[in-house]
Amino acid sequence: MPEDRNFPNGIPPASVGGRLAVRKTYKLFIGGAFPRSESGRVYPVLGDGGTLLGNAAQASRKDARDAVSAARGAVGKWSGATAYNRGQVLYRVAEMLDGRAAQFTAEVAAAERVAEREAGRQVDAAIDRWVWYAGWPDKVAQVAGGANQVAGPYFNFSVPEPTGVVAVIAPQEPSLLGFVSVVAPVIATGNTAVVVASEDHPLPAVSLAEVLATSDLPGGVVNVLTGRAGELAPVLAGHMDVNAIDLTGVVPDGRADLERLAAGSVKRVFAADEDWAAAPSTRRMLAFLETKTVWHPMGT
């Protein structure tokens, strides 16, 4: 079929109720807003049988730098919020995700070409995972910190603090559950995130960004990029204002070069191959915390 300028790839939208369906425009999520890529690039996202699901924005290196800048600007407000407040914000995200469960089930089923029942299980697990991490912000200090015994008239405390800006390469599949599993622990502990969504299945992550934008989450705490991880990951790994990077979504053979780039600015590097269906643990939260030691003399 020759390409029609009115429709991507010359394929018109499906008919709904006797009229043309409204095609959704998928954009990036940076600083609480939804810009197009500054490069103007998009790439097709295909479903079962090559069906065009939409055109996702193909983020550029400048988009990645803009996202880091937005994340850095949000660190102070987010890390300075009370742990209880951060937990409430995360719980609100879970509430809103639950209210749109049918939409996400349909999107995951189309994106990953799985049955709706399987997609529904993934969505349910993603909601449960948000709730699980929402309960941790005001408890993780008791797990990662504590009072230390010292030989002298002093109190000595270990206090966990957020690392700062964390870049995350999300796994390809499961697109929604994997995204939630790598992002929620980063922000639960007071960090901000720049996330490269699944390259093959980015649309559920963009829809989740809409949930984040309309929740109580401050702009810039989570920034979502869609596009080629091979183009964006090196920019984030070498960026001097990124404090840590999660390479879970990068194939093991491709991590070494990114780790070398990260070493140039002494980044914390984390990578773990996960069973996403397994129960979560505190490992991902603790990976992006720094420990500050505080001394205080007794009797003053």
How far apart (Å, rounded) are the C-alpha atoms in residues 129 and 124? 9
How far apart (Å, rounded) are the C-alpha atoms in residues 215 and 192? 16
Residue 118: is its pLDDT beyond 70?
A: yes
Give the chain's largest Cα–Cα span: 83
How far apart (Å, rounded) are the C-alpha atoms in residues 94 and 188? 13
- Domain residues of the chain, as ranges? 8-57, 61-297
How far apart (Å, rounded) are the C-alpha atoms in residues 65 and 238? 11
Whether domain 61-297 has CATH 3.80.30.20: the reply is no
- The CA distances from residue 5 to 44, 248, 264, in Å, are 15, 38, 45
Range 227-234 average pLDDT: 96
Question: Which two tokens mark 71?
Answer: 């994340």
| 155 three-state secondary structure | strand
Question: Mean pLDDT in the chain?
Answer: 90
pLDDT attached to residue 221: 98
Q: Residue 122 — very low, low, confident or very high, per pLDDT cuts 50/70/90?
A: very high
Asked if residues 137 and 115 have their Cβ atoms less than 8 Å apart, the reply is: no
Asked if residues 249 and 170 have their Cβ atoms less than 8 Å apart, the reply is: yes
CA-nearest of 266, 199, 278, 198 to 237 is 266
pLDDT attached to residue 85: 96
Question: Which two tokens mark 259?
Answer: 């780790």
Range 123-145 average pLDDT: 93
Range 201-227 average pLDDT: 96
pLDDT attached to residue 16: 54
Q: Residue 2 — very low, low, confident or very high, per pLDDT cuts 50/70/90?
A: very low
Range 134-159 average pLDDT: 81
Share of the chain above pLDDT 90, in %: 77
Alpha-carbon torsion 249, 250, 253, 256, what sign? Answer: negative
41-68 b/e with 16+ CB inside 10 Å = b?
bbeebbbeeeebbbbbbbbbeebbbbbb
Residue 24: is its pLDDT beyond 70?
A: yes
Range 110-123 average pLDDT: 93
| 297 three-state secondary structure | strand
Q: Classify residue 189 as left (phi > 0), alpha (psi -120 to 50) or beta.
A: alpha
Please give the residue that has the higher pLDDT: either 154 or 255: 255
Range 168-180 average pLDDT: 96
Residue 297: is its pLDDT beyond 90?
A: no
Span of 23-37, 38-52, 151-165, 281-295 with lowest mean pLDDT: 151-165
- The CA distances from residue 147 to 34, 84, 97, 158, in Å, are 44, 21, 38, 6
Please give the residue that has the higher pLDDT: either 254 or 298: 254
pLDDT attached to residue 25: 84
pLDDT attached to residue 160: 86
CA 104-98-90 angle, 5° bins: 110
